[in-house]
Chains A and B, each alone.
Chain A
Amino acid sequence: MLSLTLTVFGEFLMKMKIRKLILAPIMAVLFTAGGIAVTHAQELVVVSWGGAYSASQQKAYWDPYMAENPGITIINDDSASEGVAKLRAQAEVGNVTWSLLDAIASDTISLCDEGLIEEIDHDSALAPAPDGTPATVDFGELIVSPCFVPNIVYSTTFGYRTDLVKVAPTSIADVFDLEKNPGKRSLEKKPINNLEWALLADGVMADNVYDVLSTPEGVAQAFAKLDGIKDQVVWWTRGAQPPQLLADGEVVIASAYNGRLFSAIEEEGQPIAMMWDWQVFDLDGFVVPKNAPHREEVMKLLRYATDTQRLADQAKYISYGPARESSAAMVGKHADLGIDMAPHMPTAPENAKTTLLFNYEWWADNQDDLNEQFASWIEQ
């Protein structure tokens, strides 16, 4: 009991940032006097997306790293979907507790602009490819912001219940067509992707989508299209929800990250199929918050988790494409199921007939405005 009191009290003093003064020696005495082992393992809090995705990272990155570095414990905080807001709040409050954050590309652009995450020297901080190619070349254009270390290419696409839809949807227009396919749908509670899809379903050409969205009329057009299905939509906020909603039969069609659908279909054997029309490619990667705890350990971890082998390993557990060119060649079979992973990748030619290239810059500039509009629109 005494030791608990001291731990709690000690932690408070450390948070007060006065330990560097006189308190450090006093506390040292207190701790030794209490006979408590304070040398417990360093805990690195890694923030990611939960569910099947976190599981794949656990197996491909964190478990092997912890096995090699017994002093380190890596803990998963699954709140990446509120990552940007929470990190802003942590910075505002001056209490950053996250060591590493997994975030989508456009978010990292704004976080970098706001000075909330560290700029990274990719060539020195990251491992080169096995043949010596420097990281900047190996990742190539996927490094979209100086703060960003990409790890996967994923896509947001659609899954549907094979046994519950009237006819299998084949195009994005079917998602918005309540007559052809009655029943509830699930979309992400964010304007991103939904506005693009609404315009595509409304007949706007893919090349013009962002031009149209840059005008108030274009935004209104997109919302008007969404209005058509609004009361049939269950909004999801976490990547794990759409597969769950589909599996529960709560909705018949849902937008979802392709890897989550893969896991529900192949690993859990749910009666769900993919609809790849106008899948939206996006990047996901790691960023290091400014003033992150255990910075040195984090940089080591980052170097390890984004090397060629690790990125290739992740593709054994979930159908996301590794961000390194050198890893792409190493993608093989699923670790447990033994099926070929290549045809399940969003980039497979069969799946990538119509794809929308996600415009990170455009969203970095506009997402706060549109988020606001979207939040009001949903409540109306």
Chain B
Amino acid sequence: MRSKLPPYTTPTERIWHYLFRFICGLIFLFLIFPILVIVPLSFNSVPFFTFTQEMLTFDPAGYSLRWYEDFFTNLNWRGAVNNSFIIAIFSTLIATGLGTLAALGLSRRNVPYRTTLMAILISPMIVPLIISACGMFFFYSRVNLQGTHLGVILAHAALGTPFVVITVTATLVGFDRSLIRAANGLGADGVTTFFKIVVPLILPGVISGALFAFITSFDEVVVILFVGSFEQRTIPWQMFSGIREHISPTILAVATLLVLVSIALLSTIEMLRRRTERLRGVRS
């Protein structure tokens, strides 16, 4: 962190340098503090989102595991966790499969209408969620998909594919096509070439695209509110209704657990990124 200042810096520059660091520190605090503050609140012993007097004086009576217990015993939450995983896993599979294929196609030379195709394929990412949600609600109602798991899975898969397309295309940008020709020239057939040459190279892109797709579904709350019904309630659905309807700090407990999950995911992605760079020989 502490980069050395050159010896010729003037006092004003020195002051400015540290002032700038201080301001940046405050902004980082703004970014992180709201995420950390919910951790202690989730151990609240009363059903409100406030730091009580007992909590501030570190009186053990002000703290409890009440909300964690509620999360692990409540049927609504159990259903929500199950649904979240079912929906996220299936939509990720669909999104990853179709997205990877499309990215492979789009990365070939001589693809006609490349820009237009790309624009259409990533449009679910551009259109505001409320509009997608609204349109899907109307259309899925007509075809009896509204309020079904399948409907929600399809909707989430559509939202997740742009991420897969983008990440996989990105890994293919630096892809040296002569590798394929070399493999073919050395006698490998198409299938072997694909699995031995192409797959290892795009794998990080596929995995991180899949992760994006997974998190998109896992974290998605607008579309599920419209396309899903109570039977498809996911964790975010339940949290949203938790904030609006019964305002129980159980959602803070869930939030704390989710922060842990995102830290784990973030580390995974960072590791993958480093792996790609190593593989590609990019020196940092």
User: Measuring CB to CB, which residues of chain A are less than 8 angstroms from any residue of chain B?
Assistant: 4-5, 7-9, 11-12, 15-17, 43, 45, 49-51, 54, 73, 75-79, 81, 90, 92-95, 97-98, 237-238, 240-241, 244, 247-249, 268-270
Contacts and interface: CB of A to CB of B under 8 A. Distances in A.
Interface in B212-244: 229-231, 241, 244
Contact of B247 (A43, A98, A244, A249): A244
Interface of B: 46-50, 75-76, 79, 86, 89-90, 141, 144-150, 153, 229-231, 241, 244-248
Contact of B144 (A43, A95, A97, A247): A95
B49 A11 contact: no
Contacts of B144: 15-17, 94-95
Contacts of A97: 147, 229-231
Contacts of A50: 241, 245-246
A9 B150 contact: yes
A238 B246 contact: yes
B229 A244 contact: no
Contact of B245 (A12, A15, A51, A268): A51
A286 to B, nearest CB: 17
Contacts of B150: 8-9, 11-12
Contacts of B50: 247-249
Contacts of B147: 15, 90, 93, 95, 97
DSSP class of B's interface residues: helix, strand, loop or mixed?
Answer: helix
Contacts of A51: 245-248
B75 A12 contact: no
A338 B91 CA distance: 51
Nearest to A47: B230
Given A8-B149, A11-B149, A76-B76, A238 B245 contact: yes
Contacts of A81: 245
Contact of B244 (A4, A9, A11, A237): A237
A337 to B, nearest CB: 15
B48 A247 contact: yes
A346 B229 CA distance: 35
A93 B229 CA distance: 12
A248 B75 contact: no
A4 B230 contact: no
Nearest to B142: A93
A80 B89 CA distance: 31
B153 A8 contact: yes
Given A8-B153, A45-B231, A73-B75, A54 B146 contact: no
A75 B75 contact: yes
A96 to B, nearest CB: 9
A244 B48 contact: yes
Contact of B229 (A11, A95, A240): A95
